[in-house]
């Protein structure tokens, strides 16, 4: 699995000023503001605007900023083996050393987990005197299934705060499935 299916939007947005001379040797110029983005490793041109203010407005609307977008994902339990889903319902409620909390809905078919201190990136976890590899190892040593830990870390890197595993939820393209046969 190479791309992170929890990531949405673009990695980096920037504005570049382009000056076009309308007539050679004259002082007449046209200004354009080109909006650039990175989508994983690829550089893209998203658009051209006539004013800096218009370009900045578009960049502000496209930029992911924590608190402006939902950090909660509901995904199908089919992304985990059935025995892993069953074990999640037996987890202790709080596991602060693993940066997790578990909870159930009243319907008792949905299990949720809160990911603490996201994003789980090297830079951010350094502030907690740990790193993604160490956190992953602690979670595996605790007994969390590797399939579940993989999903947790993809979500954690994307700054997801809540994951809800629901048998009636949609599949998330890019994650493996273990149960549904279609």
Looking at the domain assignment, is residue 128 inside a domain? yes
Looking at the domain assignment, is residue 178 inside a domain? no
Q: Is the peptide bond prior to 129 cis by the omega test (within 30 degrees of 0)?
A: no
Q: Which tens digit of pLDDT belongs to each residue from 66-80?
A: 544 568 889 999 999
Q: Which tens digit of pLDDT belongs to each residue from 83-127?
A: 999 999 999 999 999 999 999 887 778 999 999 999 999 999 999
DSSP 3-state assignment of 148?
Answer: helix
DSSP 171: P
Which residues sit opposite 138 in a β-bridge? none
Looking at the domain assignment, is residue 105 inside a domain? yes
Q: Do 49 and 82 belong together in one domain? A: no
Check residues 79 and 9 and name the one with the higher pLDDT: 79
Characterise 86 by phi-psi region: left (phi > 0), alpha (psi -120 to 50), beta (else): alpha
Contacts of residue 15, defined as CB under 8 A and 6 or more positions apart, other chains included, come to: 33, 34, 35, 36, 52, 55, 56, 59
Domain that includes residue 38, residue range: 12-62
Q: Do 154 and 79 belong together in one domain? A: yes
Q: Do 57 and 132 belong together in one domain? A: no
Q: Do 36 and 114 belong together in one domain? A: no
| Selection from 47, 69, 72, 67 nearest residue 57 by Cα | 47
Looking at the domain assignment, is residue 49 inside a domain? yes
Q: Do 80 and 130 belong together in one domain? A: yes
Check residues 67 and 143 and name the one with the higher pLDDT: 143
Confidence label for 180 from pLDDT (cuts 50, 70 and 90): low
Looking at the domain assignment, is residue 92 inside a domain? yes
**Number of separate domains in the chain:** 2
Q: Do 97 and 148 belong together in one domain? A: yes
| Selection from 171, 148, 152, 172 nearest residue 160 by Cα | 152
- Pairing assessment for the beta strands 72-76 and 162-166 based on DSSP bridges: parallel
Looking at the domain assignment, is residue 131 inside a domain? yes
Residue 65 has pLDDT above 60, yes or no: no
pLDDT at position 20 is 84
Q: Do 23 and 52 belong together in one domain? A: yes
Q: Do 55 and 121 belong together in one domain? A: no
Contacts of residue 109, defined as CB under 8 A and 6 or more positions apart, other chains included, come to: 166, 167, 168
Q: Do 38 and 77 belong together in one domain? A: no
Reported pTM = 0.69
What is the distance between the alpha carbons of residues 179 and 15, in angstroms, rounded to a whole number? 45
Confidence label for 2 from pLDDT (cuts 50, 70 and 90): low
Looking at the domain assignment, is residue 4 inside a domain? no
Looking at the domain assignment, is residue 173 inside a domain? no
Characterise 159 by phi-psi region: left (phi > 0), alpha (psi -120 to 50), beta (else): left
């Amino acid at each position: 699995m190479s791309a992170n299916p929890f990531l949405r939007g673009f990695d980096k947005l920037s504005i570049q000023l382009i000056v076009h001379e309308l007539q050679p040797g004259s002082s007449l110029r046209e200004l354009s503001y080109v909006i650039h983005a990175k989508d994983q490793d690829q550089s893209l041109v998203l658009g051209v605007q006539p004013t800096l203010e218009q370009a900045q407005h578009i960049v502000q609307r496209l930029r992911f900023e924590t608190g402006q977008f939902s950090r909660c994902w509901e995904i199908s339990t089919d992304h985990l083996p059935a025995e892993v889903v069953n074990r999640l319902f037996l987890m202790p409620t709080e596991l602060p050393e693993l940066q997790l909390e578990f909870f159930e809905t009243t319907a008792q078919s949905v299990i949720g987990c809160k990911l603490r201190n996201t994003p789980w990136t090297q830079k951010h976890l350094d502030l907690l005197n740990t790193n993604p590899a160490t956190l992953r190892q602690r979670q595996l040593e605790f007994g969390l299934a590797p399939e579940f830990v993989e999903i947790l870390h993809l979500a954690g890197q994307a700054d997801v705060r809540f994951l809800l595993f629901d048998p009636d939820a949609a599949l998330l393209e890019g994650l493996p499935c273990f149960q549904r046969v279609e």
